[in-house]
């Protein structure tokens, strides 16, 4: 554990049902930018390096808990009695921490630097509460921050309980705080449920801090939209779209060209080299590495894959857990499944599927083929309609094709089988045994021509028709 971070913890409130999502899935389990929104919050909290991270779960707790790593502590809130109650029930989780940062599980973009700043502000023993604030032109749905004549924070009023004048306030509470411990536990004992909802509001602690002559300090987040909470599918999509656009803009500032940027989705840990050209619609998901000079045409999906320099990914191609090396041409309408590797200069064309196979340098699989559990040697050519028959209904078997081999159109290679270097397999052949290097394999029935048959057939047909 980092000694510099000992003394404070992070608590994430994620017990709510999220009724406005209209879903059987708990709100915090809904995906934001390809990942359950709660996991975004957990990752950003962990990046701040607190001594401990805990999550309060309630509705759908089994579904949500299954998403969390073992290193995250979990507390179950059996009855949802408000945010104050949710924090209070975690009291036994904490040891000698002096500061507790409280986050909401539905704010996936909370900045890690803000979390650190709040924790640092609350280290001052004169401070009872350090709270994030933000300005919103339309503050609907948020609690309003109340200040006195000198500008000091005196409390927070929830929108349901606010007067008309208070609802006009544009400085709002995003629900992110840091509290001094153990003072917080004593304060929560004095919070009551005398409000419209009949709940224990964590925000009532603000006024108690003032009553106890402790400071309440605000830490304003200039990019307030990053603290936006998600309560509906409309809010989820709106925030996600804004985040995607900012991500795309950032990559363009670093030398990546993004055509039709509104339809480019970058989800996960994506690395892009200089002079990459991306054309939307496009989805990059998970851990994706794209080297310099790569062109990706529209309507592609690339997930957990690597692409080498100067490769071209043509339109409508899919990649998942695949590796494409320098100068490769892929697609259009090609699919690389897990374990596919296209080595330097290889070409895989339209309507080709590659699974758990290596296509060697300069090799070509141009049309309408399935290559699975196989290796194709350097410079080999695979004709249209070639299938590696790798599955017998119970087990998978491998096909090995050597360098410089030529496989004619419409061949079936029944694995396990090896085709040697430089061998030729004639079109329409079903290969059931190994083919030696530089040999020709042909298994089709010899052609038979019946002279005059077609003319006779046409004459018979005309007689039938009268």
Walk along the chain (466 residues) and give the pLDDT tens digit of each residue.
Answer: 343 444 999 999 999 889 999 999 999 999 999 999 999 999 999 999 999 999 999 999 999 999 999 999 999 999 889 999 999 999 999 999 999 999 999 999 999 999 999 999 999 999 999 999 999 888 988 889 999 888 889 888 988 889 999 999 999 989 899 999 999 999 999 999 887 788 898 989 998 999 999 999 999 999 999 999 999 999 999 999 999 999 999 999 999 999 999 999 999 999 999 999 999 999 999 999 999 999 999 999 999 999 999 999 999 999 999 999 999 999 999 999 999 999 999 999 999 999 999 999 999 999 999 999 999 999 999 999 999 999 999 999 999 999 999 999 999 999 999 999 999 999 999 999 999 999 999 998 888 999 999 999 999 999 988 7
Q: Angle between the 37-47 and 112-122 helix axes, to the nearest 10 degrees? A: 50
φ and ψ of 221, to 5 deg: -95, 110
Contacts of 294 (CB under 8 A, 6+ apart): 273, 276, 277, 307, 308, 309, 310, 311, 312, 313
Burial string for 308-327 (b: 16+ CB within 10 Å, else e) reads bbbbbbbbbbbbbbbbbbbb
Contact 386, 410 (CB under 8 A): yes
Widest distance between CA atoms in the chain: 111
Report which of 131, 127, 224 is spatially closest to residue 176, judged by C-alpha positions. Answer: 131
Report which of 199, 196, 234, 242 is spatially closest to residue 20, judged by C-alpha positions. Answer: 234
Rounded Cα–Cα distance for residues 255 and 249 (Å): 10
Q: What is the pLDDT of residue 466?
A: 72
| Active site (annotated) includes residue 367 | yes
Q: Catalytic residue, from 31, 59, 259, 367: name it.
A: 367
pTM summary value: 0.88
Rounded Cα–Cα distance for residues 298 and 371 (Å): 25
Q: What is the pLDDT of residue 141?
A: 85
Distance from the first to the final alpha carbon of the chain: 95
Q: What is the pLDDT of residue 80?
A: 85
Rounded Cα–Cα distance for residues 144 and 147 (Å): 10
Rounded Cα–Cα distance for residues 91 and 228 (Å): 27
* Domains located in the chain, CATH noted: 3-227 (3.90.550.10), 255-441 (2.160.10.10)
Q: What is the pLDDT of residue 6?
A: 43
Contacts of 400 (CB under 8 A, 6+ apart): 374, 375, 417, 418, 419
Rounded Cα–Cα distance for residues 369 and 357 (Å): 13
């Amino acid at each position: 554990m980092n000694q510099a971070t000992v003394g404070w913890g992070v608590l994430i409130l994620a017990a709510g049902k999220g009724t406005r999502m209209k879903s059987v899935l708990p709100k915090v389990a809904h995906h934001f930018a390809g990942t359950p929104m709660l996991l975004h919050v957990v990752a950003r909290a962990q990046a701040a390096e607190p001594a401990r991270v805990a999550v309060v779960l309630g509705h759908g707790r089994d579904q949500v808990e299954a998403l969390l790593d073992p290193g995250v502590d979990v507390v179950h809130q059996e009855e949802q009695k408000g945010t104050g109650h949710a924090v209070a029930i975690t009291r036994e989780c904490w040891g000698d921490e002096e500061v507790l940062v409280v986050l909401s599980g539905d704010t996936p973009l909370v900045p890690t630097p803000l979390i650190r700043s709040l924790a640092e502000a609350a280290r001052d023993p004169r401070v009872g509460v350090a709270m994030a604030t933000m300005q919103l032109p339309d503050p609907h749905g948020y609690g309003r921050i109340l200040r006195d004549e000198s500008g000091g924070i005196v409390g927070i009023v929830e929108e349901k309980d606010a007067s008309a004048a208070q609802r006009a306030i544009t400085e709002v509470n995003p629900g992110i705080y840091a509290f001094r411990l153990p003072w917080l536990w004593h304060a929560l004992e004095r919070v009551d449920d005398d409000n419209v909802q009949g709940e224990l509001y964590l925000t009532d602690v603000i006024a108690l801090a003032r009553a106890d002559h402790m400071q309440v300090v605000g830490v304003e987040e200039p990019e307030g939209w990053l603290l936006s909470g998600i309560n509906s599918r409309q809010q989820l999509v709106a925030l996600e779209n804004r985040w995607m656009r900012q991500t795309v803009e950032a990559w363009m500032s670093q030398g990546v060209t993004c055509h039709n940027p509104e339809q480019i989705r970058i989800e996960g840990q994506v690395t892009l080299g200089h002079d990459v050209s991306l054309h939307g619609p496009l989805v990059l998901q998970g851990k994706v590495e794209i080297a310099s000079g790569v062109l990706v045409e529209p309507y592609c999906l690339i997930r957990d894959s690597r692409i080498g320099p100067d490769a071209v990914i043509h339109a409508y191609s899919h990649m998942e857990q695949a590796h494409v090396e320098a100068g490769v041409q892929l697609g259009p309408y090609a699919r690389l499944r897990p374990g596919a590797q296209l080595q330097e200069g290889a070409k895989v064309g339209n309507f080709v599927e590659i699974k758990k196979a290596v296509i060697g340098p300069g090799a070509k699989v141009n049309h309408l083929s399935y290559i699975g559990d196989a290796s194709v040697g350097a410079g080999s050519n695979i004709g249209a309609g070639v299938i590696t028959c790798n599955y017998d209904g119970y087990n998978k078997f491998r096909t090995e094709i050597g360098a410089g081999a030529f496989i004619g159109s419409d061949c079936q290679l029944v694995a396990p089988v090896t085709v040697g270097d430089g061998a030729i397999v004639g079109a329409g052949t079903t290969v059931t045994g190994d083919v030696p290097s530089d040999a020709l394999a042909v298994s089709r029935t010899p052609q038979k021509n019946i002279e005059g048959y077609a003319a006779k057939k046409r004459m018979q047909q005309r007689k039938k028709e009268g």
